[in-house]
Amino acid sequence: MIDIRSLVLVVNCGSSSVKFGVFAGTGREPLLSALAENLGQPESRLVVKEKGEKTEISLDGGSHDVALQKLLGILDQKGWLSSVVAVGHRMVHGGERFTASTLVTDEILREMDALSNLAPLHNPANILGVRTAMAALPNVPHAAVFDTAFHTTMPQAAFTYAVPQDCYRNLGVRRYGFHGTSHRFVAAEAIELLGLDPNDHGLVIAHLGNGASATAVLNGKSVDTSMGFTPLEGLVMGTRSGDIDPGALFHIAREDGLTIDELDTLLNRKSGLLGLSGLSNDCRTLENAEKEGHEGAKLALDVFVHRLARYIGGLATSLDRLDAVIFTGGIGENSATMRQRTIDRLAVLGLKLDAETNGQMFGGRCGVITSKDSKAAAAVIATNEEWMIAHDTLEAVATSTAA
Amino acid sequence: MIDIRSLVLVVNCGSSSVKFGVFAGTGREPLLSALAENLGQPESRLVVKEKGEKTEISLDGGSHDVALQKLLGILDQKGWLSSVVAVGHRMVHGGERFTASTLVTDEILREMDALSNLAPLHNPANILGVRTAMAALPNVPHAAVFDTAFHTTMPQAAFTYAVPQDCYRNLGVRRYGFHGTSHRFVAAEAIELLGLDPNDHGLVIAHLGNGASATAVLNGKSVDTSMGFTPLEGLVMGTRSGDIDPGALFHIAREDGLTIDELDTLLNRKSGLLGLSGLSNDCRTLENAEKEGHEGAKLALDVFVHRLARYIGGLATSLDRLDAVIFTGGIGENSATMRQRTIDRLAVLGLKLDAETNGQMFGGRCGVITSKDSKAAAAVIATNEEWMIAHDTLEAVATSTAA
Ligand SMILES: Nc1ncnc2c1ncn2[C@@H]1O[C@H](COP(=O)(O)OP(=O)(O)O)[C@@H](O)[C@H]1O
Ligand SMILES: Nc1ncnc2c1ncn2[C@@H]1O[C@H](COP(=O)(O)OP(=O)(O)O)[C@@H](O)[C@H]1O
């Protein structure tokens, strides 16, 4: 048990933004959180949230280091800075090298650098965050928590693409999977909620946010997942296409004369719910528009549900038995409609919705949403990646201190 | 009932090859079949097969028209030519326009031409076959039977990719599905074999040959399928990759400096079982190599099975109830091992193999391969696309004569 005198700072560093969270003890909500945006641009700013109150601070065009210094200044004013005992960093890609969270050393930093070619958009920014924070807080341990680590238990048949295996050996092309910290947290929560045997269970977890992925969890281990070499594969997402016939890409590229970079932008930024609806990447907006008769919104939500149910059925074949389907992420935690439409397509797996309890789960409420006679359960569980990072960080520190 | 005095010639025309079949009456085996290969090259030849005997005839560098004239000469010698009452043509792509087999007219030919941009490798060759045969046999009706037609019943949510819908409206980018003639034939056979209600059943059919696809059939209609805009998407095939993260393609293209055409060749011709094993695209060869300890062969077969089971589970979510999984095509009809490995992964759908009957199904034998207490059945059914084309052709003729 940790009290307010030992705080963990959680850092999630992107190319032009950083998210911070300050966690104390076993408390699952951050004492304080902050989001730095538009970094390196004139309008850069830090929005700090504490006990529901928001304060906005200009960063005067400053970048990541300025944002971190400003945040540390705030912690100092509160008398918290000296209580920060560790910093936990979210890393998108740990490749095959990182199978668990780890304390950062110079050697580890070099290894993380070497993985940057696998995630050129994400890892360099993550690493910048680590280096900046290590410079500012050199006397506390820093830990790296990887989005991919939970999926390193996938069997080879699940992670291998049917391309010449030189692509794997020389270019690292395989399924890695992402959202691992969320799937791991939710899997552990599901065992508690449903009273499952930690060594004998089968789950499919659907993390449905702006990014979306589903994972088959067998006895606590990821055995298959919908995201692939990058977070583009799989489900329909806010602006990402998920699966598409490669032959369709070749056709689009030839007919419209697109380069690889333009195709990349098309699929990562202009597709998904946004591309389908022609309206918005936001599920809630689309649900409202659908009610008012917007056809694009209806199509977007229908395709989202079709693909999601197809994946849940597909991933379940990596289990001996399906105990439960778990919904998490912004859409999974809040949209009773999308859960209902998905479960209505899971009759072959024996799922039967309880419409009443389903309607009650939103805004962080967790529980079972299937009827008593449903062959497998479905449940809503609120994810908490940031707390999981704080937790892993303390565990990595404890392990290294013990050794 | 048709006797030997009314024959149907079935033509399947590729860019450098043509397959012929001559069908009589309700007989499901062709009286005669022939394969013309290497057309337009010095070594072009026609191999004719009748009652198990093969005869090889040089075409002296001739092309499609020479092959057809040679075949018609053989039919003439046998006194069969005047009995040919119709010609049936296999067409790969019928787009959204062709929802059923149809008699060919000039107007229909123009419409088929207009679809060639959707299948630039296949349709022009198919159309060439139609024009050549119409010139040689101008006095009999010609029918076109489309690989895509069976799948035109798919709901919009199943055929829509999550890309900007301009790609659909302007470029025709959607899931079409292929192997439809085989899936349709096998679905009808399955209803007979299993005694199902034609208006109330749910099947997943796995057509596993050099090309491979799986289809969900609800009450006689295709409701979802694994192949997409082109026959590249979906299952692992002989030389085709099936599904892959588009992000992995972008990575390969950038790292190896590949063009779109080179990527296309990589995924269509160098991937699948061949790319995975580094040995062969042929399932039987790989099964033998695996027994002798070849690791690439084992990986190829494992990935094939993993993907296939994942698709069967995924497609089943488009059904209210799964009555049976049907195996067909060269691998599906002959490989007890691959069927067993697949069914072993379908426990969540309630499938239980009967190893003994499974071992007995090969070389055209059809039957149920699951145990009495299996919740859903699995069965082997031999496909017969060519006979189906002959059948459709006679039906199209009968319908037009009646009208
Ligand atoms: N009540 C709601 N009904 C439907 N969708 C919701 C609701 N609340 C949030 N969402 C959706 O959740 C998504 C954002 O999920 P979130 O997990 O916050 O995203 P991120 O992946 O960025 O963390 C958006 O599409 C949003 O519309
Ligand atoms: N006894 C067998 N065991 C395993 N695989 C077999 C067997 N017989 C045929 N096959 C496989 O079937 C595939 C060819 O299937 P087929 O339906 O004839 O192909 P196509 O799609 O070209 O019509 C090959 O991979 C071949 O190895």
Question: Which pLDDT tens digit goes with each residue over A353-370?
Answer: 999 999 999 999 999 999
Whether B246 and B362 map to the same domain: the answer is yes
Q: Are strands B102-103 and A221-225 parallel, antiparallel or unpaired?
A: unpaired
Shortest alpha-carbon distance between residue A187 and chain B (Å) = 19
The C-alpha torsion from B23 through B27 and B30 to B31, rounded to 10°, is: -80
pLDDT tens digits along A155-204: 999 999 999 999 999 999 999 999 999 999 999 999 999 999 999 999 99
CB contact under 8 A, A164 and B266: yes
Furthest-apart CA atoms within chain A: distance in Å: 62
Look at residue B339 and tell me if it is in a domain: yes
Q: In 3D, which of B202, B180, B193 has the Cα closest to residue B366?
A: B193
Residue B155 domain-assigned (yes or no): no
Residue A117: which CATH number?
3.30.420.40
Q: What share of chain A is helix, strand, coil (3-state, %, to 5)?
A: 45, 20, 35
Whether A130 and A273 share a structural domain: no
How many CA atoms does the CB half-sphere of B145 hold within 13 Å? 29
The dihedral built from the CA positions of residue B106, B108, B113 and B119, taken in this order, carries a sign that is negative
- Residue given tokens 């995630």 in the structure block: A119
Question: Which residues, judged by CB distance below 6 Å to any ligand atom, belong to the binding site of ligand 2?
Answer: B 209-211, 238, 282-284, 287, 329-331, 334-335, 362
User: Which of A163, A228, A242 shows the shortest C-beta gap to B271?
Assistant: A163
pLDDT of B149 reads 98
Q: How many CA atoms lie within 13 A of B97 on its CB side?
A: 20
Structure confidence at residue A351 (pLDDT): 98
Rounded to the nearest angstrom, the minimum Cα separation between B235 and chain A is 9
What is d(CA B151, CA B165) in angstroms, rounded to the nearest whole number? Answer: 20
- Tell me how crowded residue B401 is: count the other CB atoms within 10 A of its CB: 8
CB distance B279 to B286 below 8 Å? yes
Number of separate domains in chain B: 2
How many other CB atoms are found less than 10 A from the CB of residue A111? 16
Q: CA separation (Å) from B104 to A245, A318, B9?
A: 30, 47, 15
Q: Are residues B137 and B20 in the same domain?
A: yes
- Tokens 């065009």, residue located: A61
CA B211/CA B232 separation, integer angstroms: 9
CA A179 to chain centre: 3
Task: Give ∠ CA B45-B48-B51 in degrees, rounded to 5.
Answer: 165
Residue B153 lies in a domain: no
Same domain, B229 and B140: no
Say if residue A126 is in the same domain as residue A201. no
For residue A121, how far is its CA from the centre of ligand 1 (angstroms)? Answer: 23
Answer yes or no: are the C-beta atoms of A239 and A209 closer than 8 Å.
no
Do A123 and A262 belong together in one domain? no
- Minimum CA distance residue for ligand 2 atom 19: B209
CB within 8 Å: A245 and B256: no
Distance, C-alpha A269 to centroid of its chain: 17
A18-66 tens-digit pLDDT: 999 999 976 799 999 999 999 989 999 999 999 999 999 999 999 999 9
Residue type, B231: P
H helix or E strand, kind and range, residue B297: helix B295-316
- Specify whether the CB–CB gap between B141 and B109 falls below 8 A: no
pLDDT at A99: 97
Of A263, A276, A319, the CB nearest to B348: A319
All residues of chain A having their beta carbon less than 8 Å from the beta carbon of residue B123 are: none
Average pLDDT over chain A reads 95
Nearest chain B residue to A316 by CA distance is: B348
Residues near ligand 1 with C-beta < 6 Å? A 209-211, 238, 282-284, 287, 329-331, 334-335, 362
Q: What is the spatial distance between Cα A294 and Cα A302, in angstroms, rounded to a whole number? A: 13
* Domain assignment present for A62: yes
Are residue A85 and residue A202 in the same domain, yes or no?
A: no
Is residue B235 assigned to a domain? yes
Rounded-to-integer distance, Cα B270 and Cα B240, Å: 7
- Please check whether residues A303 and A371 belong to one and the same domain: yes
On whether the CB atoms of residues B157 and A305 are closer than 8 A, the answer is yes
The 8 Å CB, 24+ separation contacts for A62-65 are A63/A39, A64/A13, A64/A18, A64/A36, A64/A39, A64/A128, A64/A129, A64/A132, A65/A132, A65/A135, A65/A136
Which chain B residues contact residue A314 at CB under 8 A?
A: 310-311, 313-314
Nearest-angstrom CA–CA distance, A213 and A182: 10
Contact between A273 and B162 using a beta-carbon 8 Å cutoff: yes
Structural domain contains residue B163:
no
Report the atom number in ligand 1 closest to the C-alpha of A362: 1
Written as six digits, the tokens of B338 are: 């691959």
Hey, are the CB atoms on B271 and A164 less than 8 Å from each other? Answer: yes
Does A244 contact B164 at a Cβ distance shorter than 8 Å? Answer: no
Euclidean distance between CA atoms A79 and A69, whole angstroms: 15
Query: DSSP secondary-structure letter at A34?
Result: E
Mutate to test the interface with A, among B92, B223, B225, B348 (most CBs of A within 10 A): B348
Q: Is there a single domain that holds both residue A141 and residue A279?
A: no
Going from the C-alpha of A181 to that of each of A27, A227, B88, B265, the distances in angstroms are 18, 14, 57, 37
C-alpha–C-alpha distance, residues B170 and B166, integer Å: 6
> What is the full per-residue pLDDT of chain B (403 aa) written as tens digits?
445 668 999 999 988 899 999 999 767 999 999 999 999 899 999 999 999 999 999 999 999 999 999 999 999 999 999 999 999 999 999 999 999 999 999 999 999 999 999 988 889 999 999 999 999 999 999 999 999 999 999 999 999 999 999 999 999 999 999 999 999 999 999 999 999 999 999 999 999 999 999 999 999 999 999 999 999 999 999 999 999 999 999 999 999 999 999 999 999 999 999 999 999 999 999 999 999 999 999 999 999 999 999 999 999 999 999 999 999 999 999 999 999 999 999 999 999 999 999 999 999 999 999 999 999 999 999 999 999 999 999 999 998 877 6
pTM of the model: 0.96
Q: Are residues B216 and B355 in the same domain?
A: yes
Q: B118 and B218 in one domain? A: no
Name the residue with the closest Cα to ligand 1, atom 19: A209
* Residue A284 placed within a domain: yes
The Cα of B210 is separated from the nearest Cα of chain A by a number of Å equal to 14
The residue written with tokens 């190599």 in the block is B289
Q: Which pair of structure tokens corresponds to residue A288? A: 């409202």
Distance B334 CA to ligand 2 centre (A): 7
CA-nearest residue of chain B to A376?
B348
Question: What percentage of chain A reaches a pLDDT higher than 90?
Answer: 94
| Closest partner CB to A252 (pick from B171, B251, B348) | B171
| B18-24 β-sheet, strand order | B53-58, B45-50, B32-37, B18-24, B7-13, B84-91, B142-146, B102-103
Residue B232 lies in a domain: yes
Q: What is the pLDDT of residue A401?
A: 79
Token pair 């990072």: residue: A389
Cβ-contact A263, B250 below 8 angstroms: yes
Q: Are residues B269 and B381 in the same domain?
A: yes
**Which residues are within 8 A (CB) of A296 and not within 5 positions of it... i.e. 6 or more apart?**
A276, A277, A278, A279, A289, B165
What pLDDT is recorded for position A3? 56
- Domain boundary at B125, B146, B167, which? B146
Please check whether residue A188 is in contact with residue A199, taking contact to mean a CB–CB distance below 8 angstroms: no
Q: Is A218 among the annotated ligand-binding positions?
A: no
Are the C-beta atoms of residues B182 and B207 closer than 8 Å to each other? yes
CB A42 within 8 A of CB A61: yes
pLDDT at B15: 86
Q: List the beta bridge partners of residue A327.
A: A206, A380
Name the domain boundary from B84, B113, B146.
B146
Give the model's pLDDT for residue B403. Answer: 64
Structure tokens that stand for A39 in this block? 């970094």
Which DSSP string do the residues of B364-391 spell out, in sequence order?
A: T--EE-B-TT-SSEEEE----HHHHHHH
State how far the alpha carbon of A98 is from the alpha carbons of A112, A155, A315, A377, B191, in Å.
9, 16, 24, 33, 51
Nearest residue by C-alpha to atom 18 in ligand 2? B330
- pLDDT category, A129, cuts 50, 70, 90? very high
Residue B62 CB coordination number (10 Å): 19
Pairing of strands A142-146, A102-103: antiparallel
Do the beta carbons of residue A336 and residue A347 sit within 8 Å? no
Chain A's closest residue to B120, CA to CA, is: A251
Helix residue ranges per DSSP H, A213-362: 246-256, 260-269, 272-277, 283-291, 295-316, 329-334, 336-343, 355-360
Q: Which atom of ligand 2 is closest in space to residue B286's alpha carbon?
A: 27
Sign of the CA dihedral with A257 first, then A261, A264, and A265 last: negative
Q: Looking at the complex, report in whole angstroms how far the Cα of residue B2 sits from the nearest Cα belonging to chain A.
A: 42
Helix, strand, or coil here: A103? strand
Contact A216, A223 (CB under 8 A): yes
- What is the C-alpha to C-alpha distance for residues B243 and B226, in angstroms, rounded to an integer? 9
Q: Residue A224 pairs with which residues in a beta bridge?
A: A216
Tokens of A153: 């238990």
Residue A320 bears catalytic tag = no
Determine whether the annotation assigns residue A207 to a binding site: yes
A175 annotated binding-site participant: no
* Cα–Cα separations (whole angstroms), residue B267 to A264, B201, B260: 18, 35, 11
ipTM greater than 0.90, yes or no?
yes
How far is A18 from A67, CA to CA, in rounded Å?
A: 8
- Whether the Cβ atoms of residue A175 and residue A168 lie closer than 8 Å to each other: no
Q: Provide the domain limits for residue B131.
A: 7-146
Q: What pLDDT, on a 0 to 100 scale, did the predictor assign at position A371?
A: 98
Run of H or E including B316 = helix B295-316
The residues pairing with B315 across neighbouring beta strands, listed in sequence order, are: none
- The C-alpha atoms of residue B337 and residue B397 are separated, in whole angstroms, by 42
Q: What angle do CA B161, A147, A110 make, to 5 degrees?
A: 125
